[in-house]
Structure 1
């Protein structure tokens, strides 16, 4: 049974858009047995290259039958054809067709990469083949650093990487000088003698004469088929015993089983990913400047998202912090109904006790405000006095910057102690520390036990730093002489439940008073609305910054489309050596993701650096790990999404068209 059999194979090109079809092959019938050394000879345009493409499963016949080892390839899928090219064929081209970004060793390794051979094993085999062909000192040289003869030997080594049962040599000496050409022909003769099936395509009759069988083609037809006259005797100078005989060919069932196993077999996902990333890194490293320009869009996009969100969150925190001075999570219960003509109403300490058990109320404090005259030495000053409980630092978010706050024991003892606001302390004592000193409050001596932190908050015509704080019991009974409250300050736990808490307080007090003679000012609800507004603004900043990421993604897609066009021949080479469509797609997708990955990392570093500089200049920033991870993830997704179309376009290229590309 022949290894390769063609019956009435025809191939035409054109015939689209009303143009006439050009028939290149016109009923070719040919049988080639395992171990033969056949020369397909013909002038340019005779159809011999088209025939080689069909023989090597790079193209399909337009009509007729092509059987390999008894199997008709017409029913083979793209992956099955890729497996056949990978396992059965080795190509040696006139133009060498080496991948310019890879050195000699890695060029030879390419077929084994797609066969799933481990990296160490394929490197060892590739090195062995190159040393056997006299290139042991050139393993790390790229094609541009090799002579034509050396490049052709690398091409032969690549053809043998996976076994090279059938060597298809297309004008292998056409671009070589006579000496290099003779060396290449000697290698092909040696391979034929070792049992490889060698199919030589040439227009040179002298080169064809080196084969044992010459098939001459003219105008798409076979016009002559010269069989070998007599096999030389064993041991003769030209003895070339066939290592494979027709009997050694697998049966149809065995071949099908091997093909199914081969198509299904692939390297591990980790090995595939590692190889794709390594190859992408090498390729991007060759075009450094273009890669850096592509990276720039991703870097700016990621850095912008990180910095913008950090500024938004920092500004939000600063605003909330400022609002905290006025009580971000507080409510005020004030005497007096909603109707100005209704009952005035009063609030007492017993009302405070009613509010403390209300759900979501963290604390409730009586508040009595009045006006007093202070004297320290010969300095008099009028100031507001706030009579509060020791809950004040927590509820008012206002702590002493010097000294201490009064205690519950001071509250019970009606202690004559107080804390001064910053401006009151400056008027009475200047820049001197007032803690431990005494002042007269309406002629009653009080000891200063602390100075309050500066608020810098002005409400209406009053200044919150121009106040004096004293225990509620002392202020109400010994200084102001009244127990009716100015208002009740309520601290809430959860701002999102502020409205429900307000309703619960209203219900509690209305049940006790039997009338609604009070009003509630819900600061917490206002703060929640402000926080929601700030969140919206922060999101808007993030989305504006994300536009630069989108622009960077479009840049990645544009560069990858250009890369596909520039590397069309490389894609054809990879397909000729057994790459499947998904292998090509994974390769180009890995390159796009690699650009985004490196750009994402650089963008994170740049964003953090810019943020650090802004913090140094007192710009409010809060870096969010979630925002950083989100920006980095978006960069990766950008590479994946915008790299998919170019990768898919690369995977769908026709091998023959790709190989012919310049």
Structure 2
């Protein structure tokens, strides 16, 4: 660099003393360190009993040809790898006693890496790349942003801070890499062939910058095979075949005593986790945008899964509500007596239930109405119009028992029943087919060539729980029906309406006892409409469960798709993971990032799926389907999408967090 600018950071060295002041402890010390790699039936000794001490403030070059062991040494010094044997101490601490997260903390606070290939993340700007170590150190966002721009300004890249690596020259990218190494005021700068990919001028600038940083008090360890590059250091250690073959000191300025750290402040505990989570969410969205097509395909599976859950449950709940509504139209608190023993299917000609049985039931306390019924299908005629319908003979209590209202006219009275009056009350379907738009009241219709005067029209009921049209009916007095329509005097059923639901069991027992005594046999059965309701609810719940399971399977398939995509993403971003680990990311940071990415994808897909599911349900309702929308299905569906991300994102996140930093950095 042409001019030395004011220094803005210095490494922490409260326990360090330089050679000029009598060194008591090296900052980096290797004692009989070996690194052995298996190679088939043999082994490769990349390092063989190497001992080396590097003191604070030194500028040392590790020199050797390819395969000499210098890169292996750098990986061990930078806590990216562990020695196979021997001891390695950082500021007096044996790394053998440290777990993976403690090694990550060392990389974060003690070492700053400058790589030959820069190792910048292509999706981030220069400033965002510089910020990465401070993110993993738990630095507040405002401080790290300010510091990143300050470092880039110092290195002459202030105007390029918002550019991505692809928009920078090689020299500029290497200066960004150096700024990243300085972000946490690391006392040791590890530069691995920092000029190897640069032209001569850019290489000289980088070497001048490293000398400047050493003058500021940083310990600089330079890995190179070039003697001209190594000449800039004041100490040169030559490697060959895993051994140190020479260790020379050059005349020059004495090594500088490091100054107190001026790195960004750090946080811990919850104060650190929440910003880490927010940063993981931000990086997740950045990753989604960077791979927008793949993200869209991943979202599609979640959207379909969540949308189908909501739509299916809305359809199922709508069907359930529709069935319940139709059952309620039959009437509530009803007991229905039918001929034929329980469990035996009776025909319409079973003559065991008589009108006298119905009259006997009226004496039971707690009964509102008793409606005996006899029905059969006949052709009804008005003028030239014929219509085949159900004619039901009943009592005046029929409407009370069935909770059915009149649309116009009146219901026949008990006096009409006693007088065998030839009157009829029509359902809406019969009126529509016989009279069209004309008023039927006062008109006469023929049943078996017998005229009946229309005195009333029932309100519309629609289909019942079994899909039968309840409005396709004509009511006549039971006495009239027996004489003029049905012939033999027996009943198809007796409908009993109980005043209070709590009295139903008592009334049911009384009905069973009275009729059994009259018949001297149990040739009848009593059905409770509450049982119909319970059966219908169970059936609809089962149907809704089946529909929900079908939709859940689609969500499961979508989750497997998310896991597959995330596993592919881990493979594609292996080098990125290595870079993050080298800059201080712990296993928990990597786990959090990749799990958060899966959660963000599934949450966004869940939100979109909720919207589309609601829209689909409303569309089906517009087309005539019975739909019930409630808060629970969208919440459940979104929660399922969230859990899908959590569950199916765990395995890829764990795989990412378990990568070896050295292997990850070397991944192509």
CA distance in 2, matches of 1:80, 1:507: 81
Q: What is the TM-score normalised by the length of structure 1?
A: 0.81
Matches of 2:396 and 2:251, distance apart in 1: 120
Which residue number in structure 2 is paired with residue 403 of structure 1?
Answer: 408
Q: How does 1:120-139 map to 2 (within 5 A)?
A: 120-139=142-161
**1:319-352: CA deviations, max 9, x gaps?**
5555566568743125798899999683355624
Matches within 5 A, 1:244-393: 244=259, 265=269, 267-321=271-325, 330-334=334-338, 346-348=356-358, 351-352=361-362, 354=364, 356=366, 364-367=369-372, 384=391, 386-388=393-395, 392=399
Instruction: Give the corresponding residue for 2:661.
Output: 655
How much does 1:225 deviate?
1.6
Unaligned 5+ segments in structure 1 are: 233-239, 250-260, 358-362
CA deviation string 1:114-166 (max 9, x = no partner): 11112222111111111121111122211111111111111111111111111
CA distance in 2, matches of 1:410, 1:50: 110
**Number of positions where the alignment pairs a residue of Structure 1 with one of Structure 2:** 626
Q: CA deviation at 1:655?
A: 0.4
Structure 1 stretch 106-115 or stretch 449-458: which is displaced more? 449-458
> 1:599-618 to 2 correspondence within 5 Å?
599-618=605-624
**Map 1:563-582 → 2, pairs under 5 A:** 563-582=569-588
CA–CA separation in structure 1 for the residues paired with 2:637 and 2:292: 24
CA displacement 1:625-651 (0-9 Å, x = unmatched): 333332222222222222211111110
* Structure 2: distance between partners of 1:378 and 1:9: 112
* 1-structure distance, mates of 2:543, 2:219: 72
Q: How does 1:169-568 map to 2 (within 5 A)?
A: 169-229=191-251, 231=253, 241-244=256-259, 265=269, 267-321=271-325, 330-334=334-338, 346-348=356-358, 351-352=361-362, 354=364, 356=366, 364-367=369-372, 384=391, 386-388=393-395, 392=399, 395-396=401-402, 398-400=404-406, 402-403=407-408, 419-422=425-428, 425=431, 431-434=437-440, 437=442, 448=455, 450-453=457-460, 455=462, 465-468=472-475, 487-491=493-497, 504-506=509-511, 509=514, 519-522=524-527, 524=529, 525-526=531-532, 528-568=534-574
- Whether the 8 Å contact between 2:382 and 2:446 is mirrored in structure 1 is no
Between the aligned partners of 2:616 and 2:598, the Cα distance in structure 1 is 26
Question: Per-residue CA shift, 1:59-101, capped at 9, x if unaligned?
Answer: 1111111111111111011111111111111100000011111
Q: CA–CA distance in 1 between the matches of 2:144 and 2:355?
A: 93
Closer, same or farther in 2 for the Cα pair 1:7/1:262, shift >3 Å? farther
Residue 392 of structure 1 and its aligned partner are, at CA, apart by 2.4
Structure 1 residues 211 and 500: alpha-carbon distance in aligned structure 2, compared to 1, 3 A threshold: farther
Q: Are 2:314 and 2:627, in contact at CA under 8 Å, matched by a contact in 1?
A: yes
- Do the aligned partners of residues 70 and 492 (structure 1) sit closer, same or farther apart at CA in structure 2, a change above 3 Å counting? farther
Q: Distance in 2 between matches of 1:7 and 1:278?
A: 43
- Matched-pair contact (CA < 8 Å) for 2:64–2:224: yes
- Aligned match of 1:21 in 34, 39, 43? 43
Q: Measured at CA, do residues 216 and 312 of structure 1 come closer, stay the same or move farther in structure 2, by a change above 3 Å?
A: same
Cα pair 1:333 1:488 within 8 Å, conserved? yes
Relative distance call for 1:539 and 1:447 in structure 2 (3 A) is closer
1:2 aligns with 2:26: yes
1:390, 1:406 within 8 Å by CA — same for their partners in 2? no
Bigger drift between 425-434 and 562-571 goes to 425-434
CA distance in 1, matches of 2:398, 2:275: 64
1:406-433: per-residue Cα shift (whole Å, max 9, x none)? 699999xx9x998532355468855223
Q: Matches of 1:645 and 1:636 in 2, distance apart? A: 15
| Aligned partners of 1:82 and 1:578 also within 8 Å | yes
RMSD over equivalenced CA pairs, Å? 4.6
> CA offsets, 1:558-607, max 9 Å, x none?
11111111111110111011111111111111111222112222222222
User: What are the Cα deviations for residues 244-265 of structure 1, in whole angstroms up to 9, with x where unaligned?
Assistant: 5xxx99xxxxxxxxxxx98975
C-alpha distance in structure 1 between counterparts of 2:412 and 2:131, whole Å: 82
Q: Secondary structure at the match of 1:38?
A: strand
2:127 is the alignment partner of 1:105: yes
Query: Are 1:146 and 2:168 an aligned pair?
Result: yes
Q: Report the equivalent of 1:252.
A: none
1:65–1:74 Cα contact (<8 Å) kept: yes
Structure 2 counterpart of 1:50 = 72
Q: Which residue of 1 aligns with 2:94?
A: 72
Structure 1 stretch 643-652 or stretch 438-447: which is displaced more?
438-447
Asked whether the equivalents of residues 337 and 343 of structure 1 are also in contact (C-alpha less than 8 Å), the reply is no
Shift of 1:19: 2.3
- CA pair 66-364 structure 1, distance change in 2 beyond 3 A: farther
Distance 1:147 1:379 in 2: 94
- Mapped to 2, the partners of 1:462 and 1:114 lie a distance apart of 70
Deviations 1:536-567 (A, max 9, x none): 23322332233222222221111111111111
Structure 1 pair 468–631 and aligned structure 2 pair: CA distance change class (3 A) = same
What's the counterpart of residue 18 of structure 2?
none
Compared with structure 1, are the counterparts of its residues 456 and 274 closer, same or farther at alpha carbon in structure 2 (3 Å cutoff)?
Answer: closer
TM-score (norm 2): 0.80
- What secondary structure sits across from 1:346 in the alignment? helix
1:634 corresponding residue in structure 2: 640
SS in 2 for 1:579: coil
> Where do 5+ consecutive residues of structure 2 fail to align?
1-24, 345-349
1:95: which partner in 2? 117
Contact 1:40 1:201 in 2 (8 A): yes
Q: Which piece of structure 1 moves more, 308-317 or 36-45? A: 308-317
**CA spacing shift, 1:585–1:364, aligned 2, 3 Å:** farther
